[in-house]
Structure 1
Amino acid sequence: MSEEQQPSNSNPDQPRPTWFSSWFDTPYYHILYKERNYREAQLFMDNITHYLNLPEKAKVLDLACGKGRHSIYLNQLGFDVLGADLSENSILEASKNSNDSLHFKVHDMRESFEEKYDAIFNLFTSFGYFEKDEDNLTTLKAIKESLSEYGFAVIDFMNVNQVVNTLVPEEVKIVDGIEFHLKRYVSDGHIYKDIDFEDNGQKYHYTEKVKALTLQDFQSMMDEAGIYLLDIFGDYKLKKFHKTESERLIMIFK
């Protein structure tokens, strides 16, 4: 949401929209990130579903699924998939791909599901967005409660140490004729990305904010949530996690 378009909050009891509910619901979010490597993402899902040895037609939850590209691929692998996301616009788009074994719904990841799942995937740093730290713990508990007795969960997060060490402070990306000016910085335990651009004579400003959670942070929350951390990987080929060099922090738990 642009600064010029921020709504006046006439009802003081009504909560202000979060940065992620505003930004993820715009078309510009999808424009900026349209060149993400989805083939690499599919390779990751091939590897992780093979590693988990999921049964045929296993019930899989893609938590924070966006427009459902990965839910669709998981469904093509033979799984019964639900894609869930807070963004109504994304779910509306994703739902065009629904079939008997692929469904989508608007859902807040802090809330558990009545149905139990054989696997829950939270992919590509879709965690740590909340203003309150306790909401991250609440989300982990909700994931645990939504797993079947023998189910596994996977959180694929950035490796904070590697990201901070290789942070590009300023960058300009031109996508679909739009010049995105990006600024990245670390402050108060979060990694920020300021996004400024202009389209059709209108200036826009958004800020992404993700909690800089380390493996130790996750382990502490998982201990508190009664979660058992089974394995840790450092990239999409499932190589061993290295604290400073790995690109990803991929955690398997139940």
Structure 2
Amino acid sequence: MSEAEKPSTKNELNSTEKWYSSWFDTPYYHILYKDRNYREAQIFMDNLTHYLNLPEKAKVLDLACGKGRHSIYLNQLGFDVLGADLSENSIAEASINTNETLHFKVHDMRETFEEKYDAIFNLFTSFGYFENDEDNLITLKAIKESLSEYGFAVIDFMNVAQVLETLVPEETKTVDGIEFHMTRYLKDGHIYKDINFEDKGEQFHFTEKVKALTLKDFEELMEEAGIYLLDIFGDYKLKKFHKTESERLIMIFK
């Protein structure tokens, strides 16, 4: 997910206030994370859609879809898919793949869709970015209101306990000739990642900031939103969730 605002041209492109406004809309975000395991993600989509037993041509919303890679794969599985994201740049690129049953639009995840969906997927820790905690509840309510009567929603989030246990405080990664220097830490209930690098003689700095939401936090939010939590898994193979060991916190609700 990313905001539709454009980044500043100044060296200091980011503030933690709406950090996603600039970072997700830059090419550097996609460069840094270009080596993500998309085959693993496709296996997750296979397992998830099989578990949900979605009907043929079910209407699926990929919420915070980025450049649409997973929307495209879900469409290839036979579903009628809408990919939605706040990044105008990502949606512009994703829209090249539009067909009769695959569409993309710029959308704020806090807003309800007029159309109802059989499944809504919010994948790969695309939740908890907002400065105001109330926006997390607003987002859950919007997801609920956008579901059909028998629809299911899925939030795939990090398992905070496992992340903090294995957190790498400092790391340097070189991608496409750019040396990204990253530091990670917990502060005020959020997990931060500071990213510093130089490109074409210019210094850049971004900060990722995600609310460290635990299962208990989600349960409280969902109860307040009137959501029924059906099942919880701990990885992309849909193994049972373990509070300290699982890599992911995958929640299925309606």
Q: Please, what TM-score do these two structures have when normalized by structure 1?
A: 0.95
1:169 aligns to what? 169
Superposed, 1:199-218 pairs within 5 Å as 199-218=199-218
1:90 aligns to what? 90
Matched, 1:65 2:91: no
Q: Is the 8 A contact 1:67 1:90 kept in 2?
A: yes
1:228 aligns to what? 228
1:10 aligns to what? none
Q: Is the 8 A contact 2:17 2:131 kept in 1?
A: no
Q: Is the 8 A contact 2:181 2:197 kept in 1?
A: yes
- Aligned AA for 1:75? N
Q: Is the 8 A contact 2:234 2:248 kept in 1?
A: yes
Superposed, 1:178-217 pairs within 5 Å as 178-217=178-217
Q: Please, what TM-score do these two structures have when normalized by structure 2?
A: 0.95
Structure 2 CA distance for aligned equivalents of residues 30 and 249 of structure 1: 24
What 5-or-longer segments of structure 1 have no aligned partner? 8-15
Instruction: Give SS of 2:205's match.
Output: strand
- Aligned AA for 1:253? F
Report the CA distance between 1:201 and its aligned residue: 0.1
**CA deviation vs aligned residue, 1:1-25 (integer Å, no higher than 9, x gap):** 5794458xxxxxxxx9721021000
1:137 aligns to what? 137
What 5-or-longer segments of structure 2 have no aligned partner? 1-6
Structure 2 CA distance for aligned equivalents of residues 209 and 17 of structure 1: 9
1:124 aligns to what? 124
Structure 1 CA distance for aligned equivalents of residues 220 and 128 of structure 2: 14
- Aligned AA for 2:96? K
- Aligned AA for 1:79? F
Deviation beyond 2 Å, 4+ runs, structure 1:
1-7
**CA deviation vs aligned residue, 1:207-254 (integer Å, no higher than 9, x gap):** 000000000000000000000000000000000000000000000000
1:12 aligns to what? none
Structure 1 CA distance for aligned equivalents of residues 53 and 64 of structure 2: 23
* Aligned-residue identity in percent: 83
Instruction: Give SS of 1:251's match.
Output: strand
Tell me the number of residue pairs that the alignment of Structure 1 and Structure 2 aligns: 246
Structure 2 CA distance for aligned equivalents of residues 99 and 195 of structure 1: 36
2:3 aligns to what? none
Q: How large is the RMSD of aligned CA atoms in angstroms?
A: 1.3
